[in-house]
Structure 1
Amino acid sequence: MNFANIRIIYVPGMKPKPPATDHRAMLWRCLLDGVRRADPSWVEPLREHPDVFELAAWSTLFYHEQTSVEPDMPGIERLLRLDGPEPCDLREARHWHKRIAQFVYLLSDAFPRLIDLVANPAMKATLQDARRYFQNEDGRATRIRDRVMAELEQAAEAGQRVLLFGHSLGSVIAFDVLWELSRERSSAVRIDQFVTLGSPLGLNFVQHRMLGSGEKGLLRYPDNIARWENLSAIGEMTSLDRSMADDYAPMLSGGLIESITDHTALETYFRGPLGLNVHKCYGYMANVQTGRIIVDWLARGA
């Protein structure tokens, strides 16, 4: 396989991140472990070509601050050490209070006036950041999209096959970028494999605010994605409407995309300083299902 012909691009989610070099290194470790779980024969060939993995870091454009990777290190080491979740992880992810909260937040997505009554401080902070992105205050969202766009256009110019990851709000940013490239710029960028992790793209709040939301019919959607795999973990509080195949069915019926596949019962088990966080990027990247998607994508180009 010629690894010079491929590019894996990762668009991170919201909240301040560690320095890009540190964040990328941890994501790469987790990605390799996910591949190991899926098919160990691909790990060493991929490990020898770390330049195939690119982090489209944008958080400093939005938050003007950085965090440290150190508080997450014990959780990352535990994640990579274990073959899967421990019973306590699954019990917590499936706890009744999670299911009730998911139901209430989904209800508030249908009836937005409820959100201020039911949202906890963490959810309110998440919504505030999402609103800031959609409002494009001081052109921040435009600069964020330009950064992601530059990575995609560089890969297109090199003739590389692209696997594009979008985590959390990063999946919304990626979708907006793809819409803009295909509908407003007539770009040559084409995504061979799009992967969304813990994505809020199924929520009304998001769908009514994305680029293209004011268009009619198929013009609402990008036409430069070949395949889309959507991953959502048990216990997710960001990816509340976890199925994309129904929400984006017109892309399939209209011939804009070959497939949209949902995986809505992932068992992620990252534990950080605040305990279990099924939404954490490292848990998604080290998951065997993520590894399978990467292996299948690599094999298609071998």
Structure 2
Amino acid sequence: MIIIHGRSIKPRFHIKEKMVRASLIEGIRRLDNNAAYALENNEVKVSLIYYGDILNRILVDKNPELTKRMTSIGDNWYVPDGRDTKQLEKLLSRPLNSHTKSDYQALIEKNEIIKFGDDIARAVSPILNVFGINRRVINRVLPDLGGYINSRVISSEIRERLQPTLKKALLEKDDIVLISHSMGCILAYDVLWKFSRMSEYKELWNKKVGLWLTLGCPLGEPAVKESLYDSNEPNDGMYPKNIVDWVNVSAQDDFISHDGSLNDDFHQMIDRDLIRSIKDIQQIYTFWVDSKGHCNPHKLYGYLNHPRVAEILIEWIYKSG
């Protein structure tokens, strides 16, 4: 199991890893103690692909005011240890039967939803894309994502965080579920394409990821699609060809994945027999609330801890076992 986080400022690696594992394991424990035990005891190996230090460096450089709510460690800045501990504990304690639409509506009646990103996405994607200024807007509003899209140096540095781990798992013929969130979906797509298309990775051409699980995925956005590694490839070189099944999960009010359907954007992968299936699971209800009382349906912890995501991963655990 390989997990790739998304954008924005991050805590140190070991803190992020601890919170990701807790969200994942406790979400699975709600449904299946045996599957949770397998993860806790490393019967199923879990690797977090971390590039938060790179994102922090970019974001602090663009906005030095961020340092007022971050901690300096070494030559970089990080989200303070323990900042989200109470919020995570509250998320993990939510009962299995309290993930319904009415539960979500009750939550957002008491807490404000983070909406600015949705406004940007809706305005930028269908309208401004016609004028070719999408990338400039992304670079201004989301400089870490803009760095990946617009800088070969930064994008290469970030991709290198995933490539060795995924390459090793593929060569060892492991059963792989690749879980990517937000910006991590772009990173995963580009690496999957490279491994299945570029001549320097020919030894990997016949190796496949059994399941790619995307959470809060922005790959349906025109500006994002135009920045993917294969965007300028001839027609016969488009799309990765090393994924067996792709499941895409999007949450209600997630401002990054408001286009929750990817099957219609990437259906040619099925038509060309490059992938067996692409399944969209839309409008699940996630329950992350930050320390300021803001609901963030896009948060990775909310996705990983959700029963529907747990069901998908439990099924994979038993199949791979």
In which range does the TM-score fall when normalised by the shorter chain?
0.7 to 0.9
Aligned to 1:68: 80
Contact residue 231 and residue 262 of structure 1 kept, 8 A? yes
Higher relative contact order (CA 8 A, sep 6+): 1
Choose which of 265, 277, 281 in structure 1 pairs with 2:296.
Answer: 277
Whole-angstrom distance in 2 between the partners of 1:78 and 1:53: 24
Note if 1:197 corresponds to 2:190. no
For normalisation by structure 2, the TM-score amounts to: 0.81
Whole-angstrom distance in 1 between the partners of 2:290 and 2:43: 26
Shift, 1:103, TM fit: 7.1
Choose which of 182, 202, 209 in structure 2 pairs with 1:168.
Answer: 182
Instruction: Give the 3-state SS of the residue equivalent to 1:110 in structure 2.
Output: coil
Identity rate, percent: 25
Aligned to 2:269: 251
Note if 1:27 corresponds to 2:20. yes
Q: Deviations over 1:167-222 (max 9, x none)?
A: 10011111011111111122424211101110100100100111000113252200
Cα separation, partners in 2 of 1:248 and 1:40, compared to 1, 3 Å: same
Unpaired stretches in structure 1, ≥5 consecutive residues: 1-7, 116-120
Cα separation, partners in 2 of 1:292 and 1:103, compared to 1, 3 Å: same
Aligned to 1:153: 167
Note if 1:125 corresponds to 2:141. yes
Q: Deviations over 1:28-65 (max 9, x none)?
A: 11111221233333222322117711111012123333
Shift, 1:68, TM fit: 2.6
Whole-angstrom distance in 2 between the partners of 1:122 and 1:273: 27
Whole-angstrom distance in 2 between the partners of 1:284 and 1:104: 22
Note if 1:228 corresponds to 2:246. yes
Cα separation, partners in 2 of 1:261 and 1:219, compared to 1, 3 Å: same
Moved over 6 A (4+): 94-101
Q: How many residues of Structure 1 are paired with residues of Structure 2 in the alignment?
A: 289
Contact residue 171 and residue 199 of structure 1 kept, 8 A? yes
* Amino acid of the structure 2 residue aligned with 1:244: L
Aligned to 2:192: 178
Choose which of 36, 51, 54 in structure 2 pairs with 1:58.
Answer: 51
Aligned to 2:312: 293
Cα separation, partners in 2 of 1:37 and 1:219, compared to 1, 3 Å: farther
Q: After TM superposition, list the pairs within 5 Å mapping 1:254-269 onto structure 2.
A: 254-269=272-287
Aligned to 1:140: 154
Shift, 1:243, TM fit: 0.7
Whole-angstrom distance in 1 between the partners of 2:116 and 2:185: 25
Q: Deviations over 1:94-113 (max 9, x none)?
A: 99998998477334301116
Aligned to 2:60: none
Aligned to 1:213: 231
Cα separation, partners in 2 of 1:104 and 1:43, compared to 1, 3 Å: closer
Aligned to 1:118: none
Aligned to 1:18: 11
Whole-angstrom distance in 1 between the partners of 2:53 and 2:148: 13
CA RMSD for the aligned pairs? Answer: 2.9
Aligned to 1:3: none
Shift, 1:11, TM fit: 0.9
Q: Deviations over 1:240-294 (max 9, x none)?
A: 2111111000001111111111111111001112321111111011011111111
